[in-house]
Each structure stands twice: as C-alpha cells, then as structure tokens.
Amino acid sequence: MSKQIYGRVALIGLGLIASSMFWAMKRAGLAGEVTGFARSAETRDTARKIGLCDRICDTAAEAVKGADLVVLCVPVGAMGAVAEDIAPFLKPGATVSDVGSVKRAVIDAVAPHIPEGVHFVPAHPLAGTEHSGPESGFAELYDNRWCLLVPVEGTDPEATARLRALWEGMGANVDEMDADHHDLVLAVTSHTPHLIAYTMVGVADDLRRVTDSEVIKYSAAGFRDFTRIAASDPTMWRDVFLTNKDATLEILGRFTEELFALQRAIRTGDGQQLHDYFTRTRAIRRGIIDAGQDTAAPNFGRQTASGEPAE
C-alpha cells in the first residue's frame, strides 16, 4: 500500500487526465483529500454526481485553499489565466504542477504568477484516450505509461522528488527533461502524428468521389486508426499547435521532405527504396512493443464482436 504523499491535492479542470489522476490517487491512497474545480457548472454537477473528487468547489480559489499540490489540468492556452487567478490563494510551501503537452509555453505563461515560497514543477503524463470529460477517467490510465517532469531552474529538489513519488504511485514511469527538448520530442511522438491524422481524415472528407459510407465501411484497412487519433479534444489540440509552433513546424518540414522522397520513389518505380524504408520503419514498431508501450496482439488487441481478442 502506497503511503500518503500529499495531505490535500487540488485539480483545476476535470477532464480525462484529472479524473484519472483522482481515481489513481484513491486507488493507492496517495492523497488525504482531493478537491476539484471546473469552469463549467455542468461539469461540476457531473463530477459531484459520479463521486469525482472528495469535494467539488465552485471557484478555483476555494479549491486551492490549503492544498499542498495544485495541478492545472486545463488546455495549454488557458494555463496562464488560471495561474493568475489562483496565485493569491496558494498556501506557502505548496507545489503547482500541470499536465500540458507543451512545456516551454506553459512555463512562460505560468511561472510569472507563482508566488515566492511556492514551488512550480511542470509535468506531462504521456497517456490519454480519444475520450474527454469527467466521466472518461479511470485509475489504470497511467499504469506503465511515462510522465515527464520539467522542473524550472532553482526548483527545490524535494518538491520534484515528492511529485515524482506521486506519479510513480499512480503507476507511471517518470523521467526528467528540459522544456525545449520535451517540446521537440513531443512534436515527433505526438503533435505531428495528430496533425497528420487530422489531415488524412480531412482529405477523406474532401474526396467526394469516395462516398461517406464507403470510407466508414472499409475503414479497417488503415483509415480507422487515423480517426481514433483525430477524435481527440479540439480545444486542446488547437492550443498545442499554437504553443509548440517552432518544433511542430520543424518536424512537419522533415515529414514533407520524406513524403516527397517517397512520392519520387513511387513515381520512378524504385521498389528497393520503398522496401528499405518500410523495413526500417517496421523495426520502430517492434521497439515500441519491446518497451511495453503497446501490445503485440493482432489488431492492437481489439476485441471482436464476441468479446474475444481478434486473431
């Protein structure tokens, strides 16, 4: 049984990430009390109805009062305003963290509002599903997933160690990284793949020669897996691209160059180049499975209609 790490934790924003944090903290007994706040009254009502958090507050100020850890679980574009809002009510010695998938922009927006005597340890759990909202969370979301901590210069190592212990207690593997490197890594592993998925789904929508029913009926050929990624929360992803602009554009530029090279290989009938390229990229998939970050079960381990894993 994990021991309690924080007496009181406040979750600001109550979507998939925050709700999964609550259930994961409860599962392991990591927090004495968890308070929650969401901007929308409807979200707060839903949270109360499903027992999400020990106490749902009607203002962010009330939620953070007396909290040892405050986690900002709002879209990246809203982080600065929320930090400004809660700053006067933060307890001395408290830690403020976040779960945003961009780090440099969050640090620039939040750090100026953090009062003297309050620690700021940005974080990013690399976990999620295509679902959002307070009802989408579950305790196992972070099991064997990675959480990256990006402590700002001058951060108390004790505050970072305590936050690390919380994430490990919620099932995650934890690494530390500097903000700019984080943003480049995520542009490769998450941000650009999402943009490509959105684009592919958009192309299918534009191609009126292929009817909607055909796209849906034959989607298991590969298109379906793009649609899962492209179903993610639009506000969150809009903010990601606006705030991680440089790294995303760099990787998109590289992607475009590779795409042109493949187009040329197809046009000129260069089967050897295509085969070599696909052999190299296939090995990446094997590496992801070996690292325990996905299943080798056929069809991504999806269940068939009978409830059995697909052959």
If residue 97 lies in a helix (H) or strand (E), which one and from where to where?
strand 95-98
Those residues with Cβ within 8 angstroms of residue 155's Cβ, 6 or more apart along the chain or in another chain = 119, 120, 121
Whole-number pLDDT of residue 301? 72
Residue 255 in domain: yes
Token pair listed for 24: 């994961």
Residue 305 in domain: no
Least Cα distance to 123 among 95, 103, 137 occurs for 103
CB atoms closer than 10 angstroms to residue 68: 18
105 & 210 share domain: no
Whole-number pLDDT of residue 202? 87
161 & 185 share domain: no
Measured CA to CA in angstroms, residue 152 lies from 103, 156, 186, 251 at distances of 10, 9, 18, 25
Measured CA to CA in angstroms, residue 258 lies from 111, 226, 262, 272 at distances of 38, 19, 6, 16
Measured CA to CA in angstroms, residue 93 lies from 34, 55, 155, 157, 158 at distances of 18, 22, 12, 13, 11
Which CATH number covers residue 263? 1.10.3660.10
29 & 164 share domain: yes
157 & 263 share domain: no
Interatomic CA distance for residues 160 and 123, integer angstroms? 10
Residue at which a domain ends, from 130, 152, 177: 177
Residue at which a domain ends, from 177, 197, 214: 177
Q: pTM for the complete prediction?
A: 0.89
153 & 20 share domain: yes
- pLDDT tens for residues 169-189? 999 999 999 999 999 999 999
32 & 114 share domain: yes
Rg (CA), the chain: 21
Token pair listed for 241: 């691209």
Domain that holds residue 241: 181-297
Interatomic CA distance for residues 64 and 33, integer angstroms? 12
Least Cα distance to 164 among 73, 66, 65, 95 occurs for 95
Which CATH number covers residue 40? 3.40.50.720
222 & 108 share domain: no
- pLDDT tens for residues 8-27? 999 999 999 999 999 999 99
Residue 303 in domain: no
Least Cα distance to 70 among 5, 149, 12, 156 occurs for 12
Residue 306 in domain: no
Interatomic CA distance for residues 266 and 258, integer angstroms? 12
Is the pLDDT higher at 84 or at 224? 84
Token pair listed for 186: 């995520």
What is the distance between the terminal CA atoms of the chain, rounded to a whole angstrom? Answer: 37
Interatomic CA distance for residues 272 and 132, integer angstroms? 43
Average pLDDT, the chain: 92
- pLDDT tens for residues 54-107? 999 999 999 999 999 999 999 999 999 999 999 999 999 999 999 999 999 999
**CB contact at 8 A, 139 and 169:** no
- pLDDT tens for residues 24-52? 999 999 999 999 999 999 999 999 999 99
Task: Provide, rounded to the nearest whole percent, the portion of the chain with pLDDT above 70.
Answer: 94
- Please, which pLDDT band fits residue 311 given cuts at 50, 70 and 90? very low
Average pLDDT (291-299) is 84
Q: How many domains does the chain have?
A: 2
Asked if pLDDT for residue 264 goes beyond 90, the answer is yes
